[in-house]
Amino acid sequence: MSSINLQPNLDTYSNSESFTRKKLKSPHTKTSLIEVTNKLPIKPPCRIFFKNEMEHSSGSFKLRGIGNLVKVSIENARSKGIPLERIHVFASSGGNAGLAAAYSAKFYKVPCTVVIPTIAKPIIQSKLKDYGAKVILFGNSINEADQYLRNIISSADQDIYPIYCHPFDNPEIWEGHSSLVDEITQQIGENDINKIKGFVCSFGGGGLYNGLYQGMIKNNIKGDILLVETAQAPTLTETIKANNIITLNKVNSLATSLACSYTTKQSLQYYKIKTNGIKSSLDLIDDMDALRACIAYKKCCNKTVEPACGTALSVCYNRIDLLYKNLSHLKEDDILVIVVCGGSCTTDEDLKQFEQMVRKSEIKL
Ligand SMILES: Cc1ncc(COP(=O)(O)O)c(C=O)c1O
């Protein structure tokens, strides 16, 4: 395990002598945007671009939002005169949000504690430790780990200034995710900006969706957002049916990062409103489709992503029918951006297992 030096990282401040007034740098970096229209196995209805969010240091788009939450919280603390030595980041995600919190804490040189359920993947545990986070294994679910974390925070020394990182439900997280759209508008160039007609992203708790929506408003982009979730984790589907924020009893998807038992109020509101020139639609795929997409993406682009990301990618590979069904109005010249959200929960070994699982499921049929 690499240890981290907890002295303030003055490089991350725009001006080390007046850091109480200046904004901090963000921990995320710019990711690439590439056109893949002619690389796909089946002809899509329009031009397709991949926004490669797996390129972030923590492995997923989560670094934009969680990084922003940590950044703004440190800026607020500093403006109140709280020294960096008192600040401590806390998270309870055994997935990409936890990694983003730990990476952000390392970036700003503040300590981090992550409580994760005992079932969390060993690869995540070791990455968290590599980022210098203190890792506590507790409980059988995220909820149990989160409860334990909250107890740690409430009984912590009064001197500690805690930054609690929810994985998706915080406006600072959505603001951070919205930078994805800012970047795309810069990358696509002025001539093509009006051709951006929509986005596709997977839906877990709704943080990514809220950020995309806000980014579209901010950049005056009108068009569609196609949300995809797995039938095994139908959080938004059930929320829309109930027209209320509900908690699902059991969410058990192979797309583990999408398995959230509830979504944000903001996501339900955004989904329902038809103003701003943004129209959201939602479709469900089977877990096996998400695995198929991870396999196809590996063959196509030689990159390993987890099923949460395969869920969005499936519309380019094995479930291209969903594009024709939900976005049939798009023209050949229109641009659709797929958020390749990334994720560190899958290894190449896992991909081999996915191939076997897919084969077995096809034999059963
Ligand atoms: C790789 C990946 N994709 C998608 C999501 C879903 O994001 P959200 O919970 O913001 O909807 C997550 C959430 O952890 C994730 O890790």
pLDDT of residue 190: 85
* Residues with a CB atom less than 6 Å from ligand 1: 60, 62, 95-97, 167-168, 202-209, 257-258, 260, 306, 308-309, 341-343
Cα 340 to the center of its chain, rounded Å: 10
CA distances from 233 to 26, 237, 268 (A): 32, 9, 16
Q: Closest Cα to atom 1, ligand 1: which residue?
A: 343
Terminal Cα distance for the chain, rounded: 46
- By most ligand atoms within 8 Å of CB, the mutation choice from 169, 208, 227, 313 for ligand 1 is 208
User: How much distance in Å is there from the Cα of 207 to the middle of ligand 1?
Assistant: 7
pLDDT of residue 365: 67
> Ligand 1: which atom is nearest the Cα of residue 308?
3
Q: Closest Cα to atom 15, ligand 1: which residue?
A: 257
Render pLDDT for 129-188 as a digit per residue (tens, 0 to 9).
999 999 999 998 888 999 999 999 999 999 999 999 999 999 999 999 999 999 999 999
C-alpha–C-alpha distance, residues 339 and 199, integer Å: 7
C-alpha–C-alpha distance, residues 118 and 251, integer Å: 17
Q: Closest Cα to atom 12, ligand 1: which residue?
A: 257
Average pLDDT for runs of 10 along the chain of length 365: 34 42 89 97 96 98 98 97 97 95 98 93 94 95 91 96 97 98 95 95 98 97 98 97 95 93 97 93 98 97 97 98 96 98 96 97 82
- Read off the tokens for 81: 């005169």
Domain architecture of the chain: domains with CATH: 33-55+170-357 (3.40.50.1100), 62-165 (3.40.50.1100)
